[in-house]
């Protein structure tokens, strides 16, 4: 398994993870608002486009690089 780092993903990679176009735009906009990079898992989790279930599968079920 590769480590999950939301700061490294582009739109296509987010789509491959199962996110909709609207969710992707929200995530990328939130990332921009917080300074261009998520600083922690908790900061990424605060993005309302990421459900608790999706967060669990991305962050908690894999090694993370945050």
pLDDT tens digits, residue range 9-57? 999 999 999 999 999 999 999 999 999 999 998 899 999 999 999 988 8
The model's pTM is 0.82
Longest dimension (CA), the chain: 29
| Confidence band for 1, pLDDT divided at 50, 70 and 90 | very low
Burial of 27 (0-12, 13-18, 19+ CB in 10 A): buried
Q: Does residue 60 carry a pLDDT above 80?
A: no
Q: Which long-range contacts (CB under 8 A, 24 or more apart) does 13-17 make?
A: 17/58
């Amino acid at each position: 398994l590769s480590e999950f780092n939301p700061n490294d993903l582009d739109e296509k990679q987010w789509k491959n993870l199962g996110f909709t176009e609207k969710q992707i735009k929200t995530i990328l906009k939130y990332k921009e608002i917080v300074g261009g990079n998520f600083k922690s898992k908790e900061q990424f989790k605060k993005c309302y486009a990421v459900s608790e279930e999706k967060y669990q599968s991305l962050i908690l079920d894999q090694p993370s690089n945050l």
